[in-house]
Amino acid sequence: MAKRHTHTCPIAGVLNIFGDNWTWLLIREAFYGATRFSEIQRNTGIAKNVLSDRLDVLVNEGILVREDVGENGTRYAYRLTAKGESLHPVLLALHQWGNEHVYGPGNEPVLLLERATGKPLQPLAPTSRDGHRLTRAEIETRPGPGASKATVRRLAEAQE
C-alpha cells in the first residue's frame, strides 16, 4: 500500500495509513486486546499476506509495537503504542456512527457504556476550549503553519 495522497491535508495523511478495507479492523482488534497474529487473523478473516503487510505498516508508523513473547524467537505480540492509543476517539466516533447509521437504534451490535453507571456515552462532539459544544457553523478551518500554497488557495475558495 504505497502512499497515494500527496496533498498537504490531515485527512489525506490519515488515508495514507488507514485508507483500506482492513486497517481500522486491526485497530479494533488491538483495542479489544488481541495481540497475536493468528488471533487477529481469525477474528477478522483477513488474508495472511495482507495482514503481514498491514502490521508492518502499523509498526513502521509507530502505532503498534511487535514484542517478542516466545522463549526466544518466533512468537510475537502486537500492542498499541501511545500513538496507537491516541486513535481511541477516532475509533469511538466510527463506532458510534456505525451503531447509529449502519445498524440503527435498537439494533446496535456493540454498545458503548460508562462502566460505572451502565449508561451510554454521549455522542462525540466538538467542544471549545472552555468546554461548550460547538455547531458546525461555529468552527473555522484555517490554514495552519504546515499549509501548502495549494491548501491556502483551497480553503480560500471553500469560504465562498
* H helix or E strand, kind and range, residue 130: none
Closer to DNA by Cβ: residue 72 or 135: 72
Looking at 6-14, 47-55, 71-79, which segment touches a second copy (CB under 8 A)? 6-14
Handedness of CA 109, 107, 124, 91 (dihedral sign): positive
Asked if 78 interacts with a second copy (CB under 8 A), we say no
Question: Binding residue for a second copy (CB under 8 A) from 22, 54, 55, 64?
Answer: 22
Binding segment (CB under 8 A) for a second copy, from list 49-57, 68-76, 114-122: 114-122
* Cα distance between residue 5 and residue 102, in whole Å: 28
Stretch that binds a second copy, among 51-59, 68-76, 86-94 (CB under 8 A): 86-94
Cα–Cα distance list, 15 to 24, 42, 76 (Å): 11, 25, 27
CA max distance for the chain: 63
What does the binding site for DNA look like in residue numbers (CB under 7 A)? 1-2, 4, 20-22, 36-39, 45-50, 52-53, 55, 66, 69-77
